[in-house]
Structure 1
Amino acid sequence: MESSTSLQFRGQTPECLKFGTSGLRGKVDAMTDLEVYINTTGFLEYLLGMHAIQPGDPVCLGGDLRPSTDGDKRSILRAVAKAVEDLGLVIRFLGRLPTPALMFDALQANCASIMVTGSHIPFDRNGIKFNKPNGEVLKADESPILSSVHATRRLQYAMPAERSLFDDHGWFKDSSSKTWPASAHLEATERYLDRYRGFFPAGSLEGMECLVYQHSAVGRDLLAKLLESLGAKVWKVGKSERFVPIDTEDISAEQLNELQRMLEEVIAQGGKPTALVSTDGDSDRPLVCGVDSWGRLQFIPGDLLGCLSADFLKAETVVVPISANDAVDQHLARKGIHPYKTKIGSPHVIATMQALKESKQDAIVGWEANGGFLLSSRVEGEHGALQPLETRDAFLPILCVLRACQVSSKQVVDLMGELPARFGKAGLIDAFPQAASRSLIQRWTPPLDQLVDWRWHKRTITLHFAHGDHREADHDEALLIAHLCEEAARFFTPEAGYGTITRINYMDGVRFYFDSGDIAHIRPSGNAPQLRFYAVANSQQRAEQMVRDALAEPSGLLRSMELES
């Protein structure tokens, strides 16, 4: 099959956005009506072909608050809607709502769903997230969907101009193609809120004060409404009519300073807030900060917020990506729980959770480093049952930590202080060639089939393989790993604060463990020329220093490795 990037549309080669498990993401200028129509049609044709949907079935649509999602000048939603209609499917527009709210409604109705959102990425970009009637698109779906998208692309590119919906630049040429349903089925948001109201008792947050940082999050008013309905006093701050990209996994010092300023304004008005809460743009990733006794904000990283949420839900089966802070492992180990580890990304977490449902009867939960929380099973609570939702959710972890404070008569910062003192930081290098990334990873990977991890303990190296097999390394394998460690020590030097390598994990990239407690994780981006670096250490300052040293240009740790790979 020829590459999509080699196909021409009327003598031009348009930019083809890559379809992945996260859907589409790209610059708004590249998300033409043609490109959106092709990918939406390809996805829906895949579902029709596997009989997951039938002509006449509804497809739930929603969007975030970005101007390009559904604005006067640009509407990605219109192109999505046109593709839905042209396949004989019925549009069920749910309005501007959180991604998990769209997903919850669609799952209840067994409908496919499509969310137009760029999540936390910059203002000049946007994206589309596609979901099957039974849940998120998983890795196993990716290849057949790509084939379907490619077939649709060939058909649209080859269509004579006079029969095509699109002009030479890929925009709709007929104004009738731009019609769009004005009314929305707003009851979907109430059903989403009822998921929490049915689990948390009325008045369960009585006496608590919270700041809700609204910015341009699509769920900003819903979050405030939900907290108020449970008894909390809510201070709404920072509402913006311009889109503000908030990455809950990478909150900058400048952003924290601005949040601190908002907190101080509320305190000056007599407020006594326990926490500041918010979400990213499509409200599937939470942002939670506790307030200490001096009135200072303390940011809670998403992977640690997940720990507090799992504690509250009394979960005994936990799934997290390999990049999660190892405070998760240490905290859960105290309870005799050993979390299942996956590659990075919600599709991997979901696939593992689904596999575990066959053998586990207790609550199965998962979360990502960004704090997005997933629930695979029904949970019975003090007031009622919490329905499962196998997609990233921001509201549940926010409510869990606030309710845990009420039940224990503790502050958010107190709960955070009970977790192991481990600190994380992440960063990336842009314009890092994918071939160089692959070569770098290969350099630190021993040529042992199916190896996912090795560990050095008491002069013995234990090799761990896929499917759970493990054994002691033989003499030659031990020498190979020892040589690899000697080479790596040329980059992870004592002068840079690193100790001796005691373990390397290969589940998703290369994750180095040191006897000093440091963890350094190198991982190429799945579909972009980027190389990511994750650090975990015994202090926040050390984790931040590790990331600075790794990303430094032109001769930091990663660039130095690139030169020799």
Structure 2
Amino acid sequence: MNWEKLQNGSDIRGVALEGIEGEPVNLDKRIMHILGKSFIHWLKKRDYNSPITVSVGSDSRLSGPALKDAFMNGMKESGAKVFDCGLASTPAMFMSTVLGDQPTVAGVMLTASHLPFNRNGLKFFTRRGGLDKKDISEILSIAKQPNFETSEKTFDVERKEFMLEYSEYLVSYIRKTASLKSNYDKPLKGLKIIVDAGNGAGGFFASKVLAQLGANTHGSQFLEPNGNFPNHIPNPEDKVAMQSICEAVLKEKADLGIIFDTDVDRSAIVDASGKPINRNALIALISTVILGEHPGSTIVTDSITSDGLNHFIEKDLKGKHHRFKRGYKNVINEAVRLNESGEESWLAIETSGHAALKENFFLDDGAYLVAKLLVEMARLNEENKTLPALISALKQPCESREIRFNIKKSDFKEYGLSVLEQLETEVASEKGWEVVSPNYEGIRVKCSSSDEQGWFLLRLSLHDPVMPLNIESNVGGGVNKIKERLAHIFAQFNGLDLKSFNLQ
């Protein structure tokens, strides 16, 4: 058993079901049982008082029930007191460690986010937040050499309706923060807001949050959990998924559309005109709210955010934009680091829709992000104003494209770094191109020629033998102009598969 292969950064992920050629199952009930024991062993090494309490939830994946039972039994046999939270969201499983009269020592979520039906995995939390990469490595090391003692005292697994408690927490937050004099209990009264859960775990938001606040949710779609994901991939970055919610907003004449990923740690919204507010626009919108509350604060984003967003945050909102690395944990940890060093940062957000707020434990919670925006929407609605008006000054790129190069070398990390080094050398001789600094990931280059007016970023993927290239331009045809100039440079990199580059 290759335990290390189950590690995906700060998560565990694997193939849980057969059905896709070339993807053998490596996350079955036996493995999950061992992982349950390993996690409790990991917790015991941190001197938590017995019995250790753990809440466990899962998304709508087909493999969820069987794998969850095996995982919970492993923890139970190790002496833990386990609470089964049923269908849940990832953020809720963290909140189970801090919310209510009897928070648990740890929370675990079975999910593989937006990945195909055959995948599953585990996300772990303690009251300090999500586990880091080194913690997952340690848990897998424990699993590799299992030598566990069965506890003399065991507890029955108890059912816990925590999603109701978590929903009430969101409802209370929106009511108190909006604090409308005319409609305190129903701040969303008169608004039609629909949800697309993509048959994941986010369906609760329509009935248990929006409806409780007075919103009309008629027309919400794909709320029923279904691990086959028959309608579209539950992913706010997926074009088909976004088109689906945009069309639903127009059909239903809704004031707002909300879309979640499978386990609700990411989200995006759609305005009344059917226009998506995601990626740079979503970052701009929540930054407007945050910088209204905390003027001058630093907004931490990932590396591929646009120049227009940078201008909007720093010039229009008078905040500070700190463009860091891809990976939601990287972005969150950087915001935490800045705060510890004395630089105030209230928001860490990726273009993928992962958003973590300091006020909410720096937890990447798609539902809380939407709740924050709903507060603003309720307030603006009383003044006959709308959310999109807050970002009317945001300059969107005319064109953008992402191209992903597979690395054909076995030592892909070393080769990728050599490509970046050579690219930086080549850029120095290109007229109108300038390496951007500071830059924390890959090589970002400003392209100032009149027919380009944009930038590109080449970076090395965090885990895979892939080099993504992002290009943006503020003029028509600019992306192709930048791409044409890159072509002769990339031709010398024989370790890259250039098929995708030549086809686009």
The answer to whether TM tops 0.5 is: yes
Q: Residue 195 of structure 2 aligns to a residue in which SS?
A: strand
Give ranges in structure 1 of 5+ residues lacking alignment.
1-12, 165-176, 267-271, 378-387, 447-479
Matches within 5 A, 1:75-224: 75-108=66-99, 109=103, 111-139=105-133, 142=134, 145-155=136-146, 184-193=161-170, 194-201=172-179, 202=184, 203-224=186-207
Change (3 A) 1:439 1:90: same
Say if 2:251 is the partner of 1:265.
Answer: yes
Which residue does the alignment assign to 1:56?
Answer: 51
Change (3 A) 1:505 1:550: farther
Which residue does the alignment assign to 1:520?
Answer: 456
Check conservation: 1:40, 1:83, Cα contact below 8 A.
yes
Which residue does the alignment assign to 1:440?
Answer: 416
Which residue does the alignment assign to 2:347?
Answer: 365
* Aligned Cα root-mean-square deviation (Å): 3.7
Q: Residue 348 of structure 1 aligns to a residue in which SS?
A: helix
Q: Residue 140 of structure 2 aligns to a residue in which SS?
A: helix
Matches within 5 A, 1:18-33: 18-28=6-16, 29-33=25-29
Which amino acid in 1 is paired with 2:85?
L
Which residue does the alignment assign to 1:531?
Answer: 467
Which amino acid in 1 is paired with 2:367?
F
The Cα shift of 1:265 comes to 3.5
Check conservation: 1:15, 1:30, Cα contact below 8 A.
no
Matches within 5 A, 1:24-43: 24-28=12-16, 29-43=25-39
Which residue, out of 488, 493, 496, partners 1:561?
493
The Cα shift of 1:82 comes to 1.9
Q: Distance in 2 between matches of 1:418 and 1:343?
A: 26
Check conservation: 1:61, 1:102, Cα contact below 8 A.
yes
Check conservation: 1:224, 1:236, Cα contact below 8 A.
no
Tell me which moved more, 429-438 or 207-216: 429-438
Give ranges in structure 2 of 5+ residues lacking alignment.
17-24, 498-504
Say if 2:390 is the partner of 1:390.
Answer: no
Check conservation: 1:445, 1:506, Cα contact below 8 A.
no
Check conservation: 1:204, 1:230, Cα contact below 8 A.
yes
Q: TM-score by structure 2 length?
A: 0.79
Change (3 A) 1:25 1:517: farther
Check conservation: 2:233, 2:241, Cα contact below 8 A.
no
- Number of corresponding residues: 460
Q: Residue 236 of structure 1 aligns to a residue in which SS?
A: coil
Q: Distance in 2 between matches of 1:184 and 1:55?
A: 23
Which amino acid in 1 is paired with 2:310?
D
Q: Distance in 1 between matches of 2:329 and 2:455?
A: 24
The Cα shift of 1:212 comes to 1.5
Which residue does the alignment assign to 1:305?
Answer: 282
Say if 2:415 is the partner of 1:415.
Answer: no
Which amino acid in 1 is paired with 2:165?
A
Q: Distance in 1 between matches of 2:402 and 2:157?
A: 41
Change (3 A) 1:99 1:395: same
Q: Residue 233 of structure 1 aligns to a residue in which SS?
A: coil
Which residue does the alignment assign to 1:47?
Answer: 43
The Cα shift of 1:419 comes to 1.4
Check conservation: 1:247, 1:280, Cα contact below 8 A.
yes
Which residue, out of 261, 267, 279, partners 1:286?
267
Q: Distance in 2 between matches of 1:548 and 1:221?
A: 44
Which residue, out of 62, 66, 77, partners 2:61?
66
Q: Distance in 2 between matches of 1:513 and 1:137?
A: 36
The Cα shift of 1:346 comes to 2.5
* 1:299-338 Cα shifts (integer Å, max 9, x gaps): 1223431221232232323222223333332111123321
Q: Distance in 2 between matches of 1:407 and 1:92?
A: 38
Q: Residue 436 of structure 2 aligns to a residue in which SS?
A: strand
Which amino acid in 2 is paired with 1:198?
K
Say if 2:440 is the partner of 1:507.
Answer: yes
* 1:181-237 Cα shifts (integer Å, max 9, x gaps): 556445433444234443233333232222212321312222443222333222333
Q: Residue 30 of structure 1 aligns to a residue in which SS?
A: coil
Which amino acid in 2 is paired with 1:513?
K
Which amino acid in 2 is paired with 1:350?
I
Check conservation: 1:78, 1:180, Cα contact below 8 A.
no
Change (3 A) 1:406 1:196: closer
Q: Residue 353 of structure 1 aligns to a residue in which SS?
A: helix
Check conservation: 1:47, 1:132, Cα contact below 8 A.
no
Report the identity percentage: 17
Q: Distance in 2 between matches of 1:25 and 1:99?
A: 14
The Cα shift of 1:401 comes to 3.5
Tell me which moved more, 356-365 or 435-444: 356-365
Q: Residue 41 of structure 1 aligns to a residue in which SS?
A: helix
The Cα shift of 1:61 comes to 0.8
Change (3 A) 1:340 1:211: same
Check conservation: 1:59, 1:112, Cα contact below 8 A.
yes
